[in-house]
Amino acid sequence: MKKIIIVSNRLPVELKIENDKITFKQSVGGLTTGLSSVHPKDHNLWVGWLGIPEQEIPGSSLKDDLMDEVIRKDYIPIFLTEEEIDSYYYGYSNDIIWPLFHYFPEYAKFNSYYWSGYKKVNEKFAREILNYTDENDTVWVHDYHLMLLPAMLKTQQSHLNIGFFLHIPFPTYEVFRMLPSRVEILKGLLGTNLIGFHTSEYQQYFIESVSRLLPCEIHGNEIIYEGHKTVVEVFPMGIDADEFENEAHLQKEQEIKPQSIKAEIKEYTKHSPQVRFIISIDRLDYSKGIVNRLEAFDYFLENNPHYKEQVKLLMLAVPSRTCVPQYQLLKKDIDELVGRINSKHATVRWTPILYLFRSLPFEDLISLYTCSDVALITPVRDGMNLVAKEYVMSRSDQDGVLILSEMAGASKELKEAFIINPMNYREISNALLQALEMPKEDQAKRIKIMQDTIRNNNVKKWATNFLTQLEGIPSNNLQQESALKNRKSIIEHYEKAEKRLILLDYDGTLVGFQDNPEMLAPDKELTKLIRTLAGNSKNDLYLISGRKKENLEAWFADLPIGLIAEHGSFIRQSNKDWKSEFYGKSHWKKKIQKLLESYTEKIPDSFIEEKTHVLAWHYRKVPGEIGVRGAREIVQMLRTRTMDLGIQVLNGNKVIEVTAASINKGNAVRNLMRQKDYDFILAIGDDTTDEFMFRQLPSQAISIKVGTAESAAKYRLKDFKQVRFFLYALSEKETIVKRIFDIGNENKKQII
C-alpha cells in the first residue's frame, strides 16, 4: 500500500526529560492540524528531529523507550548531535537562509562549517527516510531546513513522488544570488515533482532564479531540469478556521476562569472601561517588524493625544532563538523602546503598552484576539503570517479591524484589511486612526468577507490540495521511452507498411538551434538523408515548419517532398505550386504589430518577423532573463485579445508567434491524413507548435518529441543528432544500424 511520509525539521511533539523520565505531548500548531487528515493514518509516517541534542537523552534504555513510544505513533525521530544542531539548525538554516530569505543579508553569516553541517544533516534525513520508503510512496518535505533533501531522495529512489513546501518567502533573484551555495540549493529543490509557495510572487522569484542559474527549460510554471519536471505552484496556507471560531464562541458562553488572561482583562476594563485594545502577536524576530510597529505607535500617540488613556497596545512577543546574539540584541532594543514609549506617554492611571515576553496557552491567545478592537500586524517580511488569519476567525461578533503589512503573504488574500507598508510609520499611524474610528457596519462587512476567504481555504484544504496535485503528477514524469530504444518495433511497423506518411519539423528537429536562423540551411548530410527517405516510393514525406514559404522553397524545392509553411498556412506538394490553406484575412496584424514594436523598442536585439499569416517576435539574441520576461508579458497582453481578434499565440522556442486561430500544424496534418489511407504515420518535432500535430494523430501513429519538455508524443529523442540517426535507421534497415551500434559501447552511449 502506498504511504505518505511527511518530513519537517521538528516532529510535532514536545519532549521533556525530568528525573530520567521522558514525557512528550503532541504540539499544537497549523501544520499539525493541517496534516491531521494525513497523519496518523494508513501507516503514514512523520520524520523529524525531537528538538533536543542526542547527548541530552540519558542512557540507552531511555532512548529505546523513547523510540518505542515515538514509533508507536508513526513518528520517525532523527537524532542530532550538538555540533549538527549548531551548524545545520542555528547555523545554515537560521543564520544564513532565514535572514537572507527575509531580506536581511547583512545578518547572514556565510561560512563553510554551516554549509557542511547542513549537507550532512540533510543526508542523515535522506538515509533515515529511505529505510522506510517503498517505490511510489509520497514524501512531502517542509521548509528551508531541508532544501537539499528532495534531490538526495530522488537520486536514490527515482519512483518516489516528492513534494516540497516553503513556509517562508522565496526572495528575488538579486537577493538569492548572494547565497554561495545557491546552485546546490536549487538543484536540491528540483528533485521534487511539486514545489509549493504561499504566494505567486515567491513562485515567480523562484522560477526566475532557476532560469538564471541553471540550464533548464521553463514552460509556464513547469521547470525541466536534467530530464525531470518540477511543477511550481501556489498554495496559500490556511488555519484551522473552525478551531478558532469555536473557541471564541465557547469563551463567550463559558464562565471566565480565574487567573486567566481574560479574567485579568475583565478586571482592568472594570476600572478603565473606555480603553480599547490593539493586539500584536509574534515570535520575537527581526522579520516581524516589532520595532517599526512600536515607533509607529509612538508617532500615533504623539499626533493623536486625544487617544491617550483611550487605547492600549497588548504586545505578545514569544521568545525565539534566545541564545542567538542577534535575537538577544533585538530583545534589548525592544525592551528599551517599550520602556521609552511607556515613560513618555504614561499617566498615573494608564500605560500605553502592555508587553508580554512569553508564550501563552491557546485559550489565552484567543482571549487576546477577542478582546482587541484592532490587530496591528506589521512584519517587514513574512511568508504568510497565520496570526492575521487567526485574529479574523476569532472575531465571532464580526467586528474588529485588521491592519496588515503588505510584506506578509496573507495580504494577498486578506484584501479587506488595511494594507500598510511597514516601513512607513505615518501610514501605520493613519491606518490605526481609521481603524479606531471605523463604524461597526464597515468593520462587519470587511471581517465577514475575510472570514469567508479563510473558511474557504482552511489548513485541511491546503494540505489536501497540495497532496492531490502531487499525487496527480507521475513520479517519473518525463519518462517517455527513447524512440531509439524502441527502434526495432518501429522499424518492423515501417517495413510492413505500404503507405507511409512522414512529417518532420525543421528547426530544432533536423537542425540544431542558432541565434541566426539564416544560418540553418540544410547541410549535405541532411539533404542526402531526406532524399533517401523520400526516394522510397512508399513514403510521402513532408517538412512541416513555421518558416516562410520562400525560405523552405529556396532550400528544398529540388527534393521530392511536400512542404508546409507558416505552421500550416501554405502547402506545396512535390514539384507543384504553393496553395494557401487559409483564406481569412489578417486584419489583426496592424494592431499586434504595434504591440510587438513597443517591445522591440524596449528590448534590444529582439526583432519582429512578418510572414503572410503570422507575426513573430523573436528573442533568441536577447541575453538572460530580459527576453523571457518580455515574452511572458507579451503573452499575457495577447491573451486578452485572442478572443476579439480571432488569433492565437504560439509560445515557441525563443519566439512568440501570432497567427489566425484556425492555423496550426494539427489542422494541416488532418487534411493530409485524409488524402490516403496511411498505414504508417511518423511525426517528429521539438516545439510547442508541434504539439498540435501530435494531438491530431491516430493512436497507432509514431510521434516523437525532441528535447525534454512535456509532450503529447509517444516517444522522445534527445536532439537533432538523434533524430538523424533514427531516420537513418528507418531508411537504411536495421542491419546497417546494428553495425553502427556495434562500433563499441562508448559510441553507443554517446548516441543514446
Which one of 66-74, 129-137, 359-367, 593-601 is the stretch in contact with ligand GDG (CB under 6 A)? Answer: 359-367
For residue 362, state whether it binds ligand GDG (rule: CB under 6 A): yes
Query: Which 3-state string (H, E, C) describes 159-202?
Result: CCEEEEECCCCCCCHHHHCCCCCHHHHHHHHCCCCEEEECCHHH
Could you give the strand order of the β-sheet that contains 372-377, starting from the edge strand earlier in sequence? Answer: 353-357, 311-318, 276-283, 372-377, 401-405, 418-420
Q: How far is the CB of 657 from ligand GDG (least distance, A)?
A: 41
Rounded to 5 degrees, φ, ψ at 748 are -60, -45
Q: Residues 214, 318, 354, 637: which binds ligand GDG (CB under 6 A)?
A: 318
Report residue 673: phi and psi, to 5°: -65, -20
508 binds ligand GDG (CB under 6 A): no
Closest CB to ligand GDG among residues 168, 713: 168
Q: How far apart are CA 148 and CA 142, in angstroms?
A: 11
- Closer by beta carbon to ligand GDG, 320 or else 688: 320
Min dist CB 264 to ligand GDG, Å, is: 15
The residues pairing with 404 across neighbouring beta strands, listed in sequence order, are 377, 419
Q: Where is 394: in which H helix or E strand?
A: helix 386-394
- Residue 465 contacts ligand GDG per CB under 6 A: no
Among 74, 84, 208, 382, binds ligand GDG (CB under 6 A): 382
Q: What are the DSSP E strand ranges found in 566-606? A: 570-572, 578-580
Give the residue with the Cβ less far from ligand GDG, 243 or 581: 243
C-alpha cell at 178: 548572494
CB of 28 to ligand GDG, least distance (A): 7
Q: CB within 8 A of 225, min separation 6: which ones?
A: 187, 190, 210, 214, 215, 216, 217
CB 572 within 8 A of CB 553: yes
Q: Are 118 and 93 in contact (CB under 8 A)?
A: yes
Give the C-alpha separation, 209 to 232, whole Å.
Answer: 13
Q: How far apart are CA 252 and CA 240, in angstroms?
A: 19
Q: Which of 39, 145, 167, 724 binds ligand GDG (CB under 6 A)?
A: 167
- Tell me which of 186, 384, 393, 571 binds ligand GDG, using CB under 6 A: 384
For 67, other C-beta atoms within 10 Å of its C-beta total 15
User: What mask of x and - would describe binding to ligand GDG in positions 389 to 418, judged by CB under 6 A?
Assistant: -x----------------------------
The residue range among 56-64, 355-363, 516-524, 525-533 that interacts with ligand GDG, by the rule CB under 6 A, is 355-363
Instruction: From 270-278, 358-366, 427-435, 636-644, give the range in contact with ligand GDG by CB under 6 A.
Output: 358-366
Footprint of ligand GDG on residues 6-35 (CB under 6 A)?
30
Q: Checking DSSP bridges between strand 4-10 and strand 138-142, what pairing results, if any? A: parallel
Residue 428 engages ligand GDG in binding (rule: CB under 6 A): no
| Interaction between residue 365 and ligand GDG (CB under 6 A) | yes
Q: How far is the CB of 76 from ligand GDG (least distance, A)?
A: 22
Query: Using CB under 6 A, which of 168, 311, 380, 407 touches ligand GDG?
Result: 168
Q: Which of 22, 291, 360, 423 binds ligand GDG (CB under 6 A)?
A: 360
The candidate with the shortest Cα–Cα distance to 212, out of 176, 238, 257, 246, is: 176
Would you count residue 378 as binding ligand GDG (CB under 6 A)?
Answer: no
Q: In the set 50, 162, 237, 616, which binds ligand GDG (CB under 6 A)?
A: 237
**Which of the stretches 321-329, 357-365, 459-467, 630-638 binds ligand GDG when contact is defined by CB under 6 A?**
357-365
Residues designated as active site: 505
Query: Of 238-297, which residues contact ligand GDG (CB under 6 A)?
Result: 281, 283
- DSSP structure class, residue 55: G
- Report the alpha-carbon distance of residue 539 to residue 380 in Å, rounded: 67
Query: In this structure, are residues 35 and 463 in contact, taking their beta carbons and an 8 Å threshold?
Result: yes
CB atoms near residue 407 (< 10 Å): 22
Q: How far is the CB of 386 from ligand GDG (least distance, A)?
A: 4
Which residue, among 328, 6, 352, 310, has the nearest Cα to 163 in the 3D structure?
6
Residue 738: CB partners within 8 Å, gap ≥ 6? none
Is residue 376 part of the contact set for ligand GDG (CB under 6 A)?
no
Closer by beta carbon to ligand GDG, 14 or else 128 = 14
Task: Tell whether residue 137 is a contact of ligand GDG (CB under 6 A).
Answer: no
Please, what is the minimum distance in Å from the beta carbon of residue 423 to ligand GDG? 18
Give residue 100's Cα distance to chain centre.
18
**Please, what is the minimum distance in Å from the beta carbon of residue 282 to ligand GDG?**
6
Q: Per the structure block, which three cell numbers stand in for 472?
A: 496527480
End-to-end CA distance of the chain: 35
Q: Which of 36, 260, 269, 359 binds ligand GDG (CB under 6 A)?
A: 359
Q: Does 622 bind ligand GDG (CB under 6 A)?
A: no
* Choice between 277 and 300, CB closer to ligand GDG: 277
- Site size toward ligand GDG (CB under 6 A) is 19
Beta bridge partners of 652: 655
36 contributes a contact to ligand GDG by CB under 6 A:
no
Q: Examine residue 449 and tell whether it contacts ligand GDG (CB under 6 A).
A: no
Binding residues for ligand GDG (CB under 6 A): 30, 167-168, 237, 281, 283, 316, 318, 359-360, 362, 365, 382-387, 390
